[in-house]
Amino acid sequence: MNLLLGLAALSGGLAVAAGAFGAHGASGQAQEWLRTGGIYQMVHAVAAIVAVQAGARGAGWLFVIGGLVFAGTLYAMALGAPRWFGAITPIGGVLMISGWLWLAWVALRG
């Protein structure tokens, strides 16, 4: 069993669901939050799968967790959570950036 790969796949599915809800069931700022969260979460779900294949599991974990924190806070606000959740969103962004740096390090070290 590959937990990371499974979570990356679930993350991709959640991104599709959030994007669909944003396109068909939300409006205004909520629609934007769902769209933004969905895009970032999907990109990083795919990046996590690539990272696993490249042997950079640490980067993959950062992509999955960062995507969940980043998109999850946006989804929560779209569903009515307090706007202060937006203060948590950048933590997810930092985790995703760290994942990209980790993946670059693994790739460049050969």
Could you tell me the residue ranges of all domains in the chain?
A: 3-109
Q: What is the pTM of this model?
A: 0.95
Q: How many angstroms separate the Cα of 84 from the Cα of each of 8, 46, 47, 62, 89?
A: 27, 29, 28, 23, 10
Buried/exposed code over 10-45 (b: 16+ C-beta within 10 A; e: otherwise): ebbebbeebbebbeeebeeebbebbbbbbebbbebb
Helices and strands, counts by H and E, the chain? 4, 0
Sequential pLDDT tens for the chain (110 residues): 699 999 999 999 999 999 999 999 999 999 999 999 999 999 999 999 999 999 999 999 999 999 999 999 999 999 999 999 999 999 999 999 999 999 999 999 97
